Amino acid sequence: MSKIVDKVLDQHHREEERKVYSSREGPPESNVMKRKKKYDSKLEVVKAITDIMLSGDVVGDSEHAKEETSKQRLLSSYFAFLFYKVVLLNMYLMFGLFRYFQYQYNKMKLRILSLIYNPTSTPQLIRQDVLKLNKIPKRIAAILEMKSVGDIGGGLEGLLNDASEVICWTVSAGIKHLMLYDFDGVLKDNVDNLILEINEHMKLYYGPANVPNYSVHIPHLNKTYYSSEEIKNDEDAKKSIVISVSLLSNRDGRETIVDLTRTMSELCASKEMKLSDITMKLIDTELTHLVGHEPDLLLYFGPSLDLQGFPPWHIRLTEFYWETDNDQVSYLVFIRGLQKYSNCKINVGK
């Protein structure tokens, strides 16, 4: 049934260059926490909290208040409403204070942990950390995001740097498959730069003489790139590949599933395929061809879990790991994710 895959891929090749999405609505908490650059000083944190409270008040006044008052025009119920509103505001204030201290505590914890887990580009240290674990995942995925150009580690450079760091850690940990997801597909668009950057990092980790072989695959376009030109035609060298990286974006999520549906309906309409041929197994194999295998562990390097449209079919039993209030692509998230994974047991259905 690779006919279906071919057809979908053909469609992908023909479609126009997609524009980069600028804004995306994430879950509320991570939306706010990512904007925190503005609220750096304590005064501004307090200001932000009051802002949130005030805006909450305005919302309440415009929508809910009208509804409520039109329903029950009694004066007493209006006072009750005001009373509840005030209590709610106080609750938010207390929550804000609590959240502020929690934030500071988490930051402190992360700082100490990053002292403990500091590999300084040494594969041996990473190896040592990983050898202590009783199982490691076969495939891992990581969600990366491009920070704004003004930030430290922001812009395209920062993203490429983060991606290559994660790749180097994965190689050192001895994991063979890595999926890198970024919402806009920036990594896909800059594959050539990415490969240069990976080479630089590999040299730093393993020395210029023994850069390991790797491949970078873009499932959406079905293209594969290799660390050097020679491997492309050399079958033996392909076996020595230590890591295969695949680059995903939002395009591989819901849209690919709908593409698949569309293609199958066309095939069914032209009688090349029967309706009864569509089974769960078929769809699973097709999506595995189109996107990749399901990862065992998904790492997110943001402040609170935000899946950002990661392909839905592929997170069935995936373990998620993120550090609350962390905003850097740091080794401690990576190694602690592996530690968490090694301790969890998966029993499907039982």
Partner 1 sequence: MIYEILHKLLLEYLFLPFNHLLNTVTELYVHYRNTIVSWLLQYRLIGWILTRFRSLFISVIKVGYVPQHISFIMDGNRRYAKSFDLPVKKGHEAGGLNLLSLVYSCKQMGVKCVSAYAFSIENFNRSPEEVNTLTTLFAEKLDDFAARAVDYTDPLYGTRLKIVGDFSYLSSDMVERIRRVEALTQNGDDFILYICYPYTSRNDIYHSIFNTVDKKINNINTKQSTDNSTIHIKDFSNSMYFDSFSDKCDLLVRTSGHNRLSDYMLWQTHESSTIEFTDSLWPDFSFFSLYWMIIRWSFF
Residue from 177, 169, 175, 181 nearest 206 by CA: 169
Q: Contacts with partner 1 in 271-290 (CB under 8 A)?
A: 275, 278-280, 283-284
Number of residues that bind partner 1 (CB under 8 A): 72
The whole-angstrom separation of Cα 252 and Cα 309 is 9
311, 329, 336, 338: which one contacts partner 1 (CB under 8 A)? 311
Q: Does 153 bind partner 1 (CB under 8 A)?
A: no
Q: Contacts with partner 1 in 246-265 (CB under 8 A)?
A: 253-255, 257-258, 260-262, 264-265
Phi, psi angle pair for 322, to nearest 5°: -155, 160
The label of the residue with tokens 């804000």 reads: 96
CB closer to partner 1, 68 vs 234: 68
Residue count of the chain = 350
Query: Nearest approach, Cβ of 195 to partner 1 (angstroms)?
Result: 29
The whole-angstrom separation of Cα 214 and Cα 163 is 14
The whole-angstrom separation of Cα 162 and Cα 190 is 14
Q: Contacts with partner 1 in 163-192 (CB under 8 A)?
A: none
Cα 178–Cα 36–Cα 93 angle in degrees, nearest 5: 125
Q: Does 105 bind partner 1 (CB under 8 A)?
A: no
Q: Does 295 bind partner 1 (CB under 8 A)?
A: no
Which burial class, exposed, middle or buried, applies to 10 when counting CB atoms under 10 A from its CB (0-12, 13-18, 19+)?
A: exposed
CB closer to partner 1, 37 vs 223: 37
Q: Does 56 bind partner 1 (CB under 8 A)?
A: yes
Contact 26, 308 (CB under 8 A): yes
Q: Does 343 bind partner 1 (CB under 8 A)?
A: no
Q: Contacts with partner 1 in 7-36 (CB under 8 A)?
A: 24-29, 31-33
Q: Does 316 bind partner 1 (CB under 8 A)?
A: yes
Q: Does 318 bind partner 1 (CB under 8 A)?
A: yes
36, 69, 81, 189: which one contacts partner 1 (CB under 8 A)? 81
Contact 121, 205 (CB under 8 A): yes
CB closer to partner 1, 55 vs 240: 55
Q: Does 320 bind partner 1 (CB under 8 A)?
A: yes
Residue from 31, 19, 2, 25 nearest 251 by CA: 19
